[in-house]
Structure 1
Amino acid sequence: MRQLLPLAISLTLIGCATSKTDVRNEAEAGKFDPTTTARVRLITGDNAHGGFVSGQTCEKFYNESLKSFPIEQSGWKTAHIDSAGLYPFRESDHQNSVIGMPASKESKLINESPRLYDEHVVTANQPFIATFGMVGSVSCSPKPVVFTPEPGQDYEMQFQIVKISTFKAGCIIQLRKLTAVGNTTIETPMRPQVCARSADGNFHTKDPLFNAQ
């Protein structure tokens, strides 16, 4: 989808930066085995939402699981679980769920934005699908992305509005591999494939044709 860039910029200015509290998720952290699993940090908030599926291909999830089971039984998981109440007064709006991933530029600046993040353990060497979208004055939904996490590795993902031309903006899902080296985190941008609907009406795994949707 395409939206006017001034609207996108104005939306990012809505809301004030808030202090976030890191809440360690011991149950999730206990699942991490560097030989069989990976960790993924999903940044949401500020009208951006997301979710993921681990262990299913685009074809399996969209063409079979979603058609055969309710969403809660399809393998789908929400990137961030909201507590009771309305934004921005929910307790969960000021909490990051953490499991020990290395800090990134975005995570260090989280208090300067209305965003937050949750960290998840996922199966390595299996497809991982993530989807993000924004609703509100500006709405944009990039194609879901899919990649294969490597054992013991850390990744970070987020929704991002990008400029296409003077009066147009689009959106992408950014994916970065995080590598801790001493007190420094090396961030390596990655270009995942996408889950795209073809002319036959089914979803297929494809290389992205454009940077922004």
Structure 2
Amino acid sequence: MFFRNAIGAIGAITLSAACTILPQPTHELTTETPDYDANVSARIRILTGNGAGGAFFRPGEACYKGLFERDDNKVVVGDGFWSAWKYSSRSITIGMPASPRKWMTVDGLEFKDLIREYVVPAGKPLTVAMTVSSSAGNYHSSCTPPATTFAPEPGQDYDIFMNNEGRRCWVEVRRIDGHGIDELTVQKLAPKCDASPK
């Protein structure tokens, strides 16, 4: 056990040293201006990363579908499978207030992390699913928390990210306003969508 822990520690130190020696990935930024009516819409910012995580959401839906099921309502956060092989990330912003979390700002992104901001319908359910994985040598870890759902309020802004403690991880949603509000939003576990056709 001691030997295994020592090898793991050496691997983590080596990986950390490599990250400081290697040039940092390129963080590209695109700014968009989608239609946004604060009376009927809300905005969300999701943090994920190329190659180390994945996220998707289903606007107007209170359930989730399996990863490989056809899902015309699913919005994938990121640039797809091949982006994992790029040594870069691409964030998209739409004018949301700055996150109170430095690591969810364009200037504070780490390694190949990215943020994407979206306009979503307010007053309707929004289901979010996320996953994260990492590897270093023979060490591999991953976490895929249950999908969650909540109803964004009109004119409100939300940060969505994966949080963890010990071996547990979960999708966290926090309402923000750029003036100090950073409050946890109540979510429910999202059930799997009914497989029968509508």
Identify the residue that residue 30 of structure 2 maps to in structure 1.
Answer: 23
Identify the residue that residue 154 of structure 1 maps to in structure 2.
Answer: 157
Counterpart CA distance in 2 for 1:15 and 1:114 is: 12
Matched, 1:32 2:39: no
Counterpart CA distance in 1 for 2:182 and 2:26 is: 24
TM-score, L = length of structure 2 = 0.72
State the shift of 1:180 in Å.
Answer: 2.4
| Runs of at least 5 residues in structure 2 that lack an aligned partner in the other structure | 1-7, 135-139
1:152–1:15 CA distance, 2 compared to 1 (3 A) = farther
Structure 2 counterpart SS, 1:139: strand
Counterpart CA distance in 1 for 2:84 and 2:131 is: 19
Q: Read off the aligned partner of 1:173 and give its amino acid letter.
A: V
Counterpart CA distance in 2 for 1:57 and 1:85 is: 29
* Cα deviations by residue, 1:167-211 (Å, 9 ceiling, x for unpaired): xx1211111111123xxx4211223111246xxx979xxxxxxxx
Count of matched residue positions in the alignment of Structure 1 and Structure 2? 173
State the shift of 1:153 in Å.
Answer: 0.7
Counterpart CA distance in 2 for 1:82 and 1:20 is: 16
1:85–1:56 CA distance, 2 compared to 1 (3 A) = closer
Identify the residue that residue 107 of structure 1 maps to in structure 2.
Answer: 104
Q: Read off the aligned partner of 2:158 and give its amino acid letter.
A: Y
TM-score, L = length of structure 1 = 0.68
Counterpart CA distance in 2 for 1:114 and 1:86 is: 9
* Cα deviations by residue, 1:2-55 (Å, 9 ceiling, x for unpaired): xxxx89xx5x95856545232112xxx322111111111010016111000000
Matched, 1:43 2:40: no
Is residue 48–residue 159 contact of structure 1 (8 Å, CA) maintained in 2? no
Is residue 62–residue 191 contact of structure 2 (8 Å, CA) maintained in 1? no
Q: CA RMSD in A?
A: 3.4
Structure 2 counterpart SS, 1:42: strand
Identity of aligned residues (%): 21
State the shift of 1:125 in Å.
Answer: 0.4
State the shift of 1:129 in Å.
Answer: 0.3
Counting only pairs closer than 5 Å after superposition, residues 136-147 of structure 1 correspond to structure 2 as: 136=134, 137-147=140-150
Counterpart CA distance in 2 for 1:157 and 1:126 is: 17
Identify the residue that residue 209 of structure 1 maps to in structure 2.
Answer: none
